[in-house]
Amino acid sequence: MECLNQMTIEKIVEQALQDGYLTPAMEAEVGRICDTASELSIEEYMALDRLMGSLLTGEVVAVPRKQFINVMEELVLTEAIARVAEIESTSDATLDLGDIAAYALNRLPPLYATTEEGANFQRETARGELSDLIAEQVHQAIARSLDQPDFYPDRQTIQKKPTDKVLGQVSALLQDHAHKFEPAQASR
């Protein structure tokens, strides 16, 4: 498949119909195109209509954004929250929990799971085998954060984009309702 950021809405819809899946990356690219376009063409609206219809009938399945979890994220956050709380309660330092967690996570192995049983297994394994490594990486992240000057006080954190655009609303509607669609309701 060609690079998504060079595809048109029509090509993305064609790819989704061919594959039977609409990936989060495809959905994001359609959203980006809609957000940056001053006006959509008739062809683009027709492609979006065809995509919506195929999502509702099940011809195309929207792949959920997250079908798995990285258990390491929760373990690192738990450790980081405890250490940051200790430091902030005994000093006037303010630490960015997101920066600390990201720094530590980039230096630790991921522990992905797709089921609760798998997540529990990963948690127990990590607590037994990786707890010292997790604590050390969080400690290093905090030390680096405390040692780092505030070069960019106006930097912006990653946030979800507001869904006030039409495609965002359609996407949210489809995510909420497409899985509940029953063919008997189509005659309404």
Can you point out the beta strands (E) in the chain? 21-22, 61-62, 69-70, 112-113
Query: Regarding predicted confidence, which is higher, 147 or 175?
Result: 147
Question: Which residues are paired to 22 by β-bridges?
Answer: 62
Q: Which two tokens stand for residue 5?
A: 């950021």
| Residue 25 confidence (pLDDT) | 85
Give 158's pLDDT tier (boundaries 50, 70, 90): low
Confidence of residue 32 (pLDDT cuts 50, 70, 90): confident
Please tell me the distance from the alpha carbon of residue 83 to that of residue 34, in angstroms, as a whole number: 43
C-alpha to C-alpha distance for 148 and 162, rounded to whole angstroms: 32
- Strand, coil or helix: 1: coil
Indicate whether 183 pLDDT > 50. no
Contact 78, 133 (CB under 8 A): no
pTM above 0.85, yes or no: no
Q: How far is Cα 178 from Cα 187, in angstroms, rounded to an integer?
A: 16
Q: How sure is the predictor about 188, in pLDDT bands with cuts at 50, 70 and 90?
A: very low
Residues 6+ apart with CB under 8 A from 61: 20, 21, 22, 55
The whole-angstrom separation of Cα 170 and Cα 187 is 21
Cβ-based burial of 60 (10 A; exposed 0-12, middle 13-18, buried ≥19): buried
Measure CA 7 to chain center.
21
User: Phi and psi dihedrals of 134, rounded to 5?
Assistant: -60, -50
